[in-house]
Amino acid sequence: GDCENSICYQQIIKEELATLSNSQQFFEFSKCAKSWAEQIRNKKNPAAPLEQRQAAIQILIHSCTTVMDLDLVIGFLNQETLLLETAPNYLNNIILKELANISSTISNAPHHAQSILDYLEKNELSSSSSYNYVMEAWKNCASESMNNKAFRAQAVYDRMVAKKISPDSNALTLLIHLWGASSRGDAAFRATGHLLTLEKKYLEQEKAIQQEATAINIPLEESVHEEDPPCTATRSFHITVKEYEAVLHAWACCNETWNAPKRASIILRKMEQWHSRGILPFEPSVGCYRALLNTWKRCDGKDRYEAAVQASEIMSRMLQRFDDSGQPPPDATCFSTALSIMSHSSKRGMALKTQYFLQRMEQLSSMPSDTNMNVIELLE
């Protein structure tokens, strides 16, 4: 308690934590920590307590190994000692961040995060970061199914929107990936909806950057590609090929087999067009084409003939990309899925196309590299 330096306080706590072996010892330590925190609160320097309190929060939460440990710590932190006198929003967000980090190992962490969010909303202290950390806690929760993770995170997102707090890139990306991995009936629709929102924000951002670059005569290439562009507009919304893969995967698992292929095709075509126009800095990945093929594979009845045509066109586009610009060729799954789809068609010329794809697969197998080892495995 005599140490004036926050680093000394952190070291003392770390040494004490290293001696703890059970929850009873942890409870005894929490009483000591409360006394220590009161000493920090009574110090004259108003800037030091905030830094030291943040260190205490991080160390205390990270020291938890059981549900009981976390209950004790949250009970301690919820007292006025650390939270309510100075920067309550900031310190509560620190707690939310740490709870998100440990939620993969301690099952009640997301529930505590949810309770803290309730407190922040009640006192008009919630921010986009608050909601993001709670959504992250649900995403990391090992005790919840993927369906429940997506549902819980979506509920937090809806609360944020109801508070008229604009979601950022992190929130939208998190939900895209959660719904993309969910098996709920509405997962594909929800993932697509969040992708469309992210695309809209991304396009508005890029348009603002282009307009500013044009106004001050900066080459557009520089404003898009340089790490530190001269224009003042910033990129707070980011989109990657992983988001598109997640959405296309959701459509590949969707129960609406009659609708999913067409919706997925629209998304992939848009990716190709936006890349050719310089809107997206990346082309569709092999994973994107693979997911699209899987949507067509699930077609039945008369749709199988259309699926065979589409599978042939998809493979042709992938091979053309490889031939023209050295993009990764179709992988083993793409070849096997496309050939399986095409085998159901009796359309004239389909047998010749099937034979052509088999030849290309053999050709790729004779050129060993990281991109076609899986094709070799398929042939073997």
Q: Is the pTM of this model over 0.85?
A: no
- Render 33-83 in DSSP notation, one character per residue: HHHHHHHHHT-S-SHHHHHHHHHHHHHHHHT--SHHHHHHHHHHHTSTTTT
pLDDT along the chain (380 residues), means of 10: 47 52 52 54 49 69 77 68 56 87 92 91 91 97 94 97 95 98 95 97 90 70 50 78 97 88 96 94 96 93 88 95 91 94 85 92 78 50
Q: pLDDT value at position 149? A: 97
Locate tokens 């693979």: which residue? 290
Q: pLDDT value at position 42? A: 54
Question: What whole-number distance in Å separates Cα of residue 20 and Cα of residue 307?
Answer: 62
Contact present, 374 and 363 (Cβ < 8 Å): no
Q: pLDDT value at position 132? A: 97
| Token duo for residue 60 | 């205390």
Contact present, 114 and 147 (Cβ < 8 Å): no
191 contacts: CB under 8 Å, gap ≥ 6: 175, 176, 179, 180, 246, 247, 250
134 contacts: CB under 8 Å, gap ≥ 6: 96, 100, 110, 113, 114, 116, 117, 156
Question: Per this entry, what is the length of the chain?
Answer: 380
Q: pLDDT value at position 87? A: 58
Question: What whole-number distance in Å separates Cα of residue 233 and Cα of residue 208?
Answer: 7
